[in-house]
Amino acid sequence: MEHPLQIGRLRCFRRLRRSGSLPWRQGQSRRHRLCVVVCMVFAGLLISGSFDAMAQATGKSAKTKQKESAGPKTASPLRVATCQFPVSADIAANADWIRRQMREAAAQRADVVHFPECALSGYAGVDVQSFEDFPWTLQRDQLETILALARELQQWVILGAAHRLGGNHKPHNSLYVINPEGKIVDRYDKRFCTGGDLKHFSPGDHFVIFEIKGVTCGLLICYDIRFPELYRQYCKRGVRLMFHSFYNARQKEGSIHPKIMPPTGQAHAGMNNMFISMSNSCAPRSWESVFITPDGLIENRLPLDQPAVMVNVVDVSKKYYDASAPYRLRSIEGIWNSGETVSDPRSKDRTCY
């Protein structure tokens, strides 16, 4: 469609042509008249281009206003169930605990249910001594009952299990992402395996990011907590809720893990402005599962060495203390100062006083 000003310009040219009032006088050369016509055409094109640009700008402005009036994408409050039970080598017993706690979470109106590392399979090197004769068929059968229950309850599930690979490759230590349709939609494989893990597992090579009710989520497993670069990369990708699964159970007397794991999670939450659900097995000599808010405080915790479920609310619209917010992404990108540095001899001379 032509812009109204373009239509006016065309009408003006038509009137000039009909009246013979073209802008030249008698006695001017044909060459001069041709130059005048060319200049008029060129000016018309420039005006036309300006009008087109104005029309496009007007259209873009209208579209922008329409988007602004629609408002930014918002996330709904998300109810997260963090679960713990005594994970063991008994796959059927583990699956029974998982289904029972899924139903308990549903009774508390949880949107997503989070389980410990190797919750279904048992943990290699502690519960499972070797995968050589592992009952993969039994694990598959039990997993299918869990998928069916997720579909029945319309529930997201983050489930830890060993994941079989082909050939002579060792399995992955994984977290399955199960959607409310009862389908596995993604899988995180533990990237940093301990020396003991590597005797049984193959390490993973990817991040997993997904959304539940508009909240951007990520996954990590146990020893990954020792590598802050993983949290930083998830932060850079916009993750606001981390599901971090652990198997820090059946510890030796005096183990340091119960003392350092929750505080380490608190530091990651505060530095990266994330909610963190830390789900751990509750077999004896463990540490209790905790839920941490983006200010680094523990919002809630489960009882020590007892099976239990807690439901906490993730509301990303709520404001939490976040001192590093102005410079966090700047730091992640490798700019390790705030403000602008100065060029000054007394700044460069680090021995002067």
Nearest 5°: phi and psi at 295? -85, 0
Q: Give strand ranges (E) for the chain.
A: 78-84, 112-114, 156-163, 172-178, 184-189, 209-212, 215-221, 241-246, 275-280, 290-292, 298-301, 308-314
pLDDT of residue 188: 98
pLDDT band for position 108 (cuts 50, 70, 90): very high
For the chain, give the mean pLDDT.
86
pLDDT band for position 28 (cuts 50, 70, 90): low
Query: Are 149 and 99 within 8 A, CB to CB?
Result: yes
Residue 153 confidence (pLDDT) above 90: yes
- Of residues 223 and 3, the one with the higher pLDDT is 223
Residue 3 confidence (pLDDT) above 60: no
Q: How confident is the model over 194-205, as a mean pLDDT? A: 97
Q: Which residues contact 175 (CB under 8 A, 6 or more apart)?
A: 117, 158, 159, 160, 187, 188, 208, 219, 221, 243, 245
- Token pair for residue 320? 């939490």
pLDDT band for position 75 (cuts 50, 70, 90): confident
pLDDT band for position 47 (cuts 50, 70, 90): very low
Residue 59 confidence (pLDDT) above 50: no
Q: What is the pLDDT of residues 335-353, one digit of tens each?
A: 999 999 999 999 999 999 9
The structure tokens 């850079």 sit at 236
Amino acid type, 331: S
Lowest mean pLDDT of 4-8, 124-128, 177-181, name the range.
Answer: 4-8
pLDDT of residue 67: 38
pLDDT band for position 33 (cuts 50, 70, 90): low
pLDDT of residue 142: 98
| 312 closest CA partner among 75, 77, 74 | 77
Q: How confident is the model over 285-289, as a mean pLDDT? A: 94
122 DSSP 8-state letter: -
Give SS3 for 259.
Answer: helix
Question: Interior CA angle at 217 toward 211 and 220, to 5°?
Answer: 140
pLDDT of residue 143: 98
Q: How confident is the model over 137-149, as a mean pLDDT? A: 98
Residue 206 confidence (pLDDT) above 90: yes
pLDDT of residue 251: 87
Q: How many other CB atoms sit within 10 Å of the CB of residue 290?
A: 22
Q: How confident is the model over 226-246, as a mean pLDDT? A: 98
Residue 265 confidence (pLDDT) above 70: yes
Residue 40 confidence (pLDDT) above 70: no
pLDDT of residue 277: 98
